[in-house]
Amino acid sequence: MAEVPPNLPHPNQPGEPAPGPISAAAGNPETAAADQAAGGTTVDPAIAARATAPALEMRAISKRFPGVVANDHIDLSIRPGEIHALLGENGAGKSTLMNILYGLLSPDEGEILLDGAVVEISSPSDAIARGIGMVHQHFKLVPVFSVAENIVLGNETMANAVFLDVRRSEGRIRALSQQLGFEIDPEAMVGDLSVGIQQRIEILKALYRGAKVLILDEPTAVLTPQETSEIFLVLRRLAGEGTSIVFISHKLNEVLEIADRITVIRRGRVVGQADPKTATEESLAEMMVGREVSLVVDKGPASPGEAVLTVEDLTVADDRGSIVVAGASFGVRAGEIFGLAGVAGNGQEELVEAINGLRKVTSGRVVLGGHDVTNDSSRSLSERGVAYIPGDRQRFGLVLPYPIEDNLVLTEYYHAPFSRFGVINERAISKRASELISQYDIRTPSGGLPASTLSGGNQQKVIVAREFSRDLVLLVADQPTRGIDVGSIEFIHRQIVAKRDAGIAVLLVSAELDEVLELSDRIGIMYRGQLVAILDASTAEKETIGLIMATGRAEVPA
Amino acid sequence: MTAATSSVAVLRRDARLVWIGVAIGLIVLALAALLLDVPYLGSFVDWLINRVPPLSYLIVQYAVPIAFGALCGVMCERSGVTNIGIEGMILTSAFVAFLTGAYLHTVVGAPLAAIIGIGTAIVAAMLLSTLHAWLSITIKADQIISGTVINILALGGTAFFNQLLVSTTRLSGTNTLPRLDVPNELAAVPFIGPIIDALLNQGPIAMSLIVLVVFLQIMLFRSRWGLRTRAVGEHPKAADTVGIDVVRTRYRSVILGGVFAGLAGAYLTLEQFNSFQDNMTGGVGFIGLAAMIFGRWTPLGAYGAAILFGAVQSMQLAVRISPPEGDLGGIISAIPPQVFGMLPYVFTIIVLAGVVGRAVPPAADGIPYDKEARG
Amino acid sequence: MTESANPGAAGLNVDATTLLGGGSLGRQAIVTGIAIVLGLLIGAVLIVLSGVIGPAQSFDPTLPIAGYAALLEGALGGPKAIANTLNSATPLIFTGLSVAFGFRAGLFNIGANGQLLVGGFCAAIVGTSVALPFPLAAIVAILAGGLGGALWGFIPGALKAWRGAHEVVTTIMLNSIAFLLLNLLASSIFKDQGATFPRTPDVLPGSVLPIILVNTRLHAGILIALATTFVVWFLLFKTTLGFEIRTVGANASAARYAGMRPAFITILTMSLAGALAGLGGTVEILGITKNYPAEYIVNFGFDGIAVALLGRAHPFGVVGAALLFGVMRAGAGAMQRATDIPVDIISIVQAVILLFVAAQIIIQQLLPAARPKGPVEPSAAAA
């Protein structure tokens, strides 16, 4: 792997300022005053360093698990009232570091300092008591409890030794939320509330306990664009009042938008720091991945043929019964890659499930090669040559306790040569398995081992091997490279392009806009359950697409 | 930004009003049928008002062990541990209570022997529930199997020691616990009198039931302990991250649940009867589970369900002792007793089938807590 | 929801893999063997105790040897004893298969007892009315028994598939309903008027299962049981249907994705499991009692759970476990006659064995060879 380029800034050491212009932390009165006292934006580095002593510091933190070094001498320094982004790929070690900070894990080496004093954080209660609050990626809220009950849990306001003081809790919650600029009904049941509001409840939970350092783990992963802007406002307000915020993410554009400083982690080590004012998505990506990342794959022009998949005015409901796909229409032609872009939660999952026969279509049509296949079973679609790579591969794509061999025939076991008259032919299965294992370079000592013994990338290769080795007319790939190491990502991308070049229609769904841009020939953008735009990938501009994803239209109304 | 009001919470409040309305409507209907002498319905209501109350002691007798079993279940499942071994716990504690009373009867005299018997019964049940807790929480064995093991162990164990210690020596039990005497004037009050008489003309264990039900209901929903216990049963990861000790909370709840099972057993051999037969519980633990589900995992609901099930089961005796007037009496007497016996089970299946609203257990019920798991 | 090593399994659904413990067949056998030994040891302690506190009032540490010897003698000493053993094992094979079959599909069939009763009752009724020669009448009665049990398994299966009602509770309820309902029917409509206790009439001779070992009471039920075992094994492991059943049990979401229909599989599996238990009741009625008594109280269903677990939910393992239990049941009477040890001790031993199998972690701590292997490559423990 490439070395850290020598000209990137080193991780902060106390008292040593980063090179380049010193920018005042947003809204921090101390530095602003220091700036003005010094007569402008150029400040004596020593004065600036004293004024911005870290609220939180992690020094040389190391943590090892069997077979992997999750954190390797990591240094992190957060100033009061700063929004500090922790950037890194999946598996880089961000969550481990934060779990250490929050007392869920203990470091093998290194120390943690709060306001300059060394502390030992032994448990989440300890962390909370010291003013560290965490908002997890998967919310820790009890759906059948009220907002108030969730917020006070573990830190209850008591009327006496035994009973809760419900009214006082609710009063405090109302006051706290108003301070942050939004209203909340403490009696509402959390399970009924939207994801964006639930996240605010999680933040309130931390603040209710007097958090001065707030850690947010991938907070925007589940939010709509609207909710993302709203939460950013809340975060700025919090920072303005002196709360330090650690913002963990792998989303480059958001990190550039919200952070005051950025620390980049790769494979357990701090790669360097970045200044959002000067960094670009490319420079951040390069730091994250460690070499020049060509965000463009080597691919020739498409020569699309007939329409293979046509979706006409499709309406689909989610598990609760609400309509999440509201009249989507588009088509995918043979020999082209149609990328479906959009913020998660705009109906893409349900649309893809409906196309593949795993969810009922309320109204509209799905046409495959001239045949109406609306609401056909997934098996009959599979027999027509449709392959589906599911987004949640461990839940839908594999049976982990089963041998790899069985997983490789999971969608084809029921016909010859793998079975005849209902009886399974084990030798045929083994034969096919060893062919596919060598063809797709699946790293395993034996095909008879359970699929759970494979790494994430190899598990995805099993699914790809299984689906790609059939005669296909349509390939539906949902988040094909989520959580996979970069080497495997390129492999899978190349496979997808190869299928396109072989004349197969490809429908690509991905939450990573860059992946969509890189691979697609045409891009459709989903917003609130509809295809609001279909663009030619070669001429589309990323900003336009982002705008449409966020707002549903190409121009901001005047 | 808009306020996060919950329309569903409003609907839920309305639902309660609907239920109250339905209850009032039924009472009005019943009174009308009686006064207007509507055939069948009128004699049924007449029977309910005049003939049943003196027999309400039957209902109480059936309902007490069911209710205690249900309370045990509520304690366990609210914290996230499934317990189908309640049957075995009740059987074991019944036997232990009997043994204690029988042995100490000659040493310390009747009431004291029985009281100590209550204590040993509770201890025995708590030992079994500790075993269940250990298997379910620490060993993370399947909780259904753990409960089944306890049932088989109890059945075999009590029969084994029963044969060795009781049948061959013809050991006889101590006197049953004395009942509270209700003054005759109070018992003579129409309709309410016999009911009060039934409720209060009981031994100490049965009377403690109501107190415990109310106590548990209040504690579970208004105290800090209750909030934390319920959190552990619904979303243990959430509770863990705010510093609640999931393992200890679950252990505590399951072991405390044993107290109720112990009381049920003690009731059977120290208060209702004073002898022990092999497998005398006859499935009362499972009916208790049914009552817990029917009562939506709340103490008050479980108690109400236990009364309902006890009423249904006691009907087979009630119609024989004191049948309704006229044709209705003939019809009801003709219903075989097995039908009444089946009704609690059929009711529970209907509830589970979601016909009368969904029966949703605590979300983490039955899932061992894995601290290391992501999520 | 927390993620586990098998994201497709969740909640009270039986995850057959974690339930039965990981590891190869050899490892499983070691664990089972140790559990049996431990159970017998605790039984021995209790036997000594029974000598102390029982009528004999003597402390005799050699009593367990005499006791177990008498047990083995009673179970295996001579053709009559072996017949007894095999007869005792036969219904357990069926209920064990029934529960094991359910486990494979991720279902907990606690209702084997009720299904057995319904099956036996149907066989009894049909056996009384079909006046065909043997073996035709027997075949018809057996079919009826299977269908009856299938019906009683269909109900909880359908409730689970269509209404989400958990099969543990519904089957427990149906056990009691079955007993009471059949009690009612056997005491009223179908009652044999001339009988001394309430029961159905005796089945006609054409339906009775023949004795297969002269001078004993060993009936053909054991043969039917062994044949059924082979059929179940073949179905589960060699057919596409079995593949689908096991996939639904291992990961229902992936099963749907792969084009299988979990709801249909659930209903089919519960019905088949019910049929298996129903066959157990059938052979008991047609081979031993020859009628259905109104107060037919048996524990085969619950013992079937123990047998299925001990046998690792594998058909051949079920046969082994059923034979073990059969030995214990058949020998217990002889043991009590010879040494005054109450028969119920074998229930205790069985419960203890089951406990150690369920808590195999204890055994695995004691014996590293019994531990299952972990993943070959370390999965990303840190994100």
C-alpha distances in angstroms, C121 versus A82, A118, C199, C202, C284? 77, 76, 10, 12, 10
Q: Range with the lowest mean pLDDT among B108-117, B317-326, C292-301, C314-323?
A: B317-326
Amino acid A300: pLDDT: 72
Per-residue pLDDT of A518-528, as tens digits, reads: 899 999 988 88
Q: How confident is the model at residue A555 (pLDDT cuts 50, 70, 90)?
A: low
Token pair for B260:
């109720």
CA distances to A162, A225, B245, C219 from A527, rounded to whole Å, are 50, 10, 43, 71
DSSP string over A515-527: HHHHH-SEEEEEE
> Inter-chain contact B242–A193, Cβ cutoff 8 Å?
no
- One-letter amino acid for residue A238 of the chain: L
The token duo for A260 is 């005051």
Residues of C in contact with A68 (CB under 8 A): 378, 380-382
What whole-number distance in Å separates Cα of residue B151 and Cα of residue B88?
A: 4
Average pLDDT over residues B239-251: 90
pLDDT of residue A20: 33
Backbone angles phi, psi at A11, to 5 degrees: -60, 150
Question: Residue A287 CB: number of other CB atoms within 10 A?
Answer: 24
Q: How confident is the model at residue A2 (pLDDT cuts 50, 70, 90)?
A: very low
Distances (CA, A) of B20 to A146, B13, B16, B294, C204: 24, 11, 6, 18, 58
Residue B357 and residue B11: Cα distance in Å, rounded?
14
Give the strands of the sheet with A307-317, arranged side by side.
A323-333, A307-317, A361-368, A371-372
What residues of chain C score a pLDDT lower than 70? 1-25, 361-383
What percent of chain B has pLDDT above 70? 81
- Please give the interface size between B and C, counted as residue pairs whose CB atoms are below 8 Å apart: 153
Chain A partners of C381 at a C-beta cutoff of 8 Å? 65-66, 68, 70
Report CB contact under 8 Å: C380, A91. yes
**Would the pLDDT of A486 be above 90?**
no
> What pLDDT is attached to residue A137?
77
For residue A99, give the nearest of C106, B372, C287 by alpha carbon: B372
Mean pLDDT of chain B: 82
The answer to whether A184 faces chain B, any CB pair under 8 Å, is: yes
pLDDT at B218: 93
What domains lie within chain C, and their CATH numbers?
76-341 (1.10.3470)
pLDDT at A396: 87
Mutation pick from A153, A194, A215 vs chain B, by most beta carbons of B within 10 Å, is A153
Question: pLDDT value at position B372?
Answer: 58
* pLDDT greater than 70 at residue A1: no
Shortest distance between the Cα of A483 and any Cα of chain C, in A, equals: 10
- pLDDT at B374 (0 to 100): 45
Beta strand A474-478 pairing with A505-509: parallel
Residue in this structure with the two tokens 């207007």, named with its chain if needed: B36
* pLDDT tens-digit readout, A96-114: 888 888 888 888 999 998 8
Amino acid at C84: N
pLDDT of residue C286: 92
Neighbours of chain A (3+ CB pairs under 8 A): B, C
pLDDT at A8: 33
Interchain proximity A66–C379, CB inside 8 Å: no
C191 compared with A284, residue with greater pLDDT = C191
**C118: CB partners within 8 A, 6+ apart:** C148, C149, C151, C152, C178, C182, C274, C278, C281
Of C254, C379, C380, which is closest to A397 when you measure between CB atoms?
A: C254
DSSP H helices, C286-344, are 300-310, 315-339
Q: Mapping DSSP to helix (H, G, I), strand (E, B) and coil, where does residue A536 land?
A: strand
Collapse the DSSP code of A541 into the 3-class scheme (helix H, G, I; strand E, B; otherwise coil) and give the result.
Answer: coil
- Please give the pLDDT value at position A25: 37
Integer Cα distance of A127 and A210 in angstroms: 11
pLDDT, position C381 = 33
H or E segment to which residue A505 belongs:
strand A505-509
pLDDT tens per residue, range B17-39: 766 777 788 777 777 776 777 66
| Cβ-contact B121, B263 below 8 angstroms | yes
The sign of the dihedral angle between the CA atoms of C327, C329, C331, C335 is: positive
Kindly state whether B216 is in contact with chain A, defined as any CB-CB distance less than 8 angstroms: no
Closest Cα in chain B to C361:
B139
Peptide linkage before C135 cis (omega within 30 of 0): yes
Using an 8 Å CB-CB cutoff, list chain A residues near C252.
none
φ/ψ of A229, rounded to 5, equals -60, -40
How many contacts does A have with B, using Cβ atoms within 8 A?
A: 95
In DSSP terms, A117 is beta-bridged to A114
Phi, psi of A450 (to 5 degrees): -65, 150
pLDDT score of A23 more than 50: no
CA-based max dimension of chain B: 79
**Which has more confidence, C280 or A69?**
C280
Tell whether the model's pLDDT for residue B214 goes beyond 80.
yes
B82-100 pLDDT per residue, tens: 999 999 999 999 999 999 9
So what's the pLDDT on residue A298?
Answer: 63
Top mean-pLDDT range of A234-238, B16-20, B125-129 = B125-129
Length of chain C: 383
- Measured CA to CA, the distance from residue A147 to residue A197 in angstroms comes to 10
* Residues 259-278 (C) with a CB less than 8 A from some CB of A: 259
What distance in Å separates the CA atoms of residue B119 and residue C133, rounded to the nearest whole number? 63
A45 versus A538: the higher-pLDDT residue is: A538
pLDDT tens for each residue of A297-306: 567 777 788 8
Residue B252 has pLDDT above 60, yes or no: yes
Cβ atoms of residues B254 and B75 within 8 Å: yes
- Please check the confidence at residue A35 and state whether its pLDDT lies above 90: no
Greater pLDDT, C73 or B50: C73
Is residue B279 over pLDDT 60?
yes
**Domain coordinates in residue numbering, chain B:** 55-352
Nearest residue in B to C346, CA atom: B156
Q: State whether residue C290 is helix, strand or coil.
A: coil
Say what the pLDDT of residue B1 is. 30
Which CATH architecture best describes the domain B55-352?
Orthogonal Bundle (1.10)
Read off the pLDDT of each residue in A171-190 and give the average, rounded to a whole number.
87
Q: Does C239 touch chain A (CB under 8 A)?
A: yes
Mean pLDDT, rounded, of chain A: 81
Binary contact (C169, B293; C-beta < 8 A): yes
B343 neighbors B290 (Cβ within 8 angstroms) = no
| pTM (two decimals) | 0.81
Residue A116 in this model has a pLDDT that exceeds 70: yes
Using an 8 Å CB-CB cutoff, list chain B residues near A140.
Answer: 235, 237-238, 241-242
pLDDT given at position C73: 87
d(CA C123, CA C143): 8
Pairing of strands A68-78, A56-65: antiparallel
Contact at CB, A185 and B234, closer than 8 angstroms: no
ipTM (interface pTM)? 0.83
Closest residue by Cα to residue A501 from A280, A323, A321, A335: A335
* pLDDT tens by residue, A401-434: 899 999 999 988 888 788 888 899 999 999 999 9
DSSP strand pairing (A213-217 vs A244-249) = parallel
> Contact B4/A193, CB-based, under 8 Å?
yes
Beta-strand ranges (E) seen in A334-378 are 337-341, 361-368, 371-372
Tell me the chain A residues in contact with residue C247 when contact means C-beta distances shorter than 8 Å. 399, 402, 410
Tell me what percent of chain B is helix, strand and coil, each rounded to the nearest 5: 75, 0, 25
